[in-house]
């Protein structure tokens, strides 16, 4: 059985609410094993970059002593904001799952996906 709902539920349990990633939760997984799970600390730390995905990437890289997280997946309590999406891409994570409005959504994070995601924010 897929562990996707399990990790999505954990990310939602960690989250402190929904809205623009500020209250998000994240679980980072490798080979179906949880490596790191966290909540955003944006408000607590007064840090606009402390979204759960960004914290998770930083901590996982330190914990695993690796620069790239190529074989990892990330599970998020809500759709990642542009900052988190780019951080996930920069970390080398290719598979993103998040809780959508009605169901769990999946992103295959390729160059093409990013190009399409950012066409809406071109100047």
Q: Provide the minimum distance between the beta carbon of 34 and Zn ion in the complex, in angstroms, as a whole number.
A: 20
List the interface residues with Zn ion, window 62-81 (CB under 5 A).
81
Closest to Zn ion by CB, 51 or 94: 51
Q: How far apart are CA 122 and CA 77, in angstroms?
A: 27
Closest to Zn ion by CB, 10 or 51: 51
List the interface residues with Zn ion, window 87-116 (CB under 5 A).
none
Phi then psi for 23, rounded to 5 degrees? -115, 15
Q: How far apart are CA 24 and CA 2, in angstroms?
A: 22
Contacts of 51 (CB under 8 A, 6+ apart): 21, 22, 24, 26, 40, 42, 80, 81, 83, 84
Q: How far apart are CA 35 and CA 17, in angstroms?
A: 23
Q: Provide the minimum distance between the beta carbon of 53 and Zn ion in the complex, in angstroms, as a whole number.
A: 6
Pick one of 21, 28, 88, 107: the residue that binds Zn ion (CB under 5 A).
21
In 3-state terms, what secondary structure has residue 119? Answer: helix
Pick one of 14, 23, 51, 57: the residue that binds Zn ion (CB under 5 A).
51
Closest to Zn ion by CB, 69 or 84: 84
Stretch of residues binding Zn ion (CB under 5 A), selected from 3-11, 15-23, 29-37, 97-105: 15-23
- Note the residues at the interface with Zn ion (CB under 5 A): 21, 51, 81, 84
């Amino acid at each position: 059985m897929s562990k996707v709902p399990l990790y999505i539920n954990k990310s939602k349990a960690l989250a402190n609410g929904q809205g623009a990633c500020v209250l998000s939760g994240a679980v980072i997984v490798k080979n179906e094993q949880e490596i790191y799970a966290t909540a955003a600390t944006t408000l607590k730390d007064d840090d606009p970059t402390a979204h759960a995905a960004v914290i998770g990437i930083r901590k996982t890289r330190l914990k695993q002593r690796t620069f790239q997280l190529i074989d990892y997946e990330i599970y998020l309590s809500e759709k990642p904001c542009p900052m988190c999406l780019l951080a996930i891409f920069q970390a080398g994570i290719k598979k993103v799952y998040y809780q959508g409005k009605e169901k769990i959504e999946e992103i295959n994070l390729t160059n093409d996906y990013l190009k399409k995601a950012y066409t809406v924010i071109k100047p």
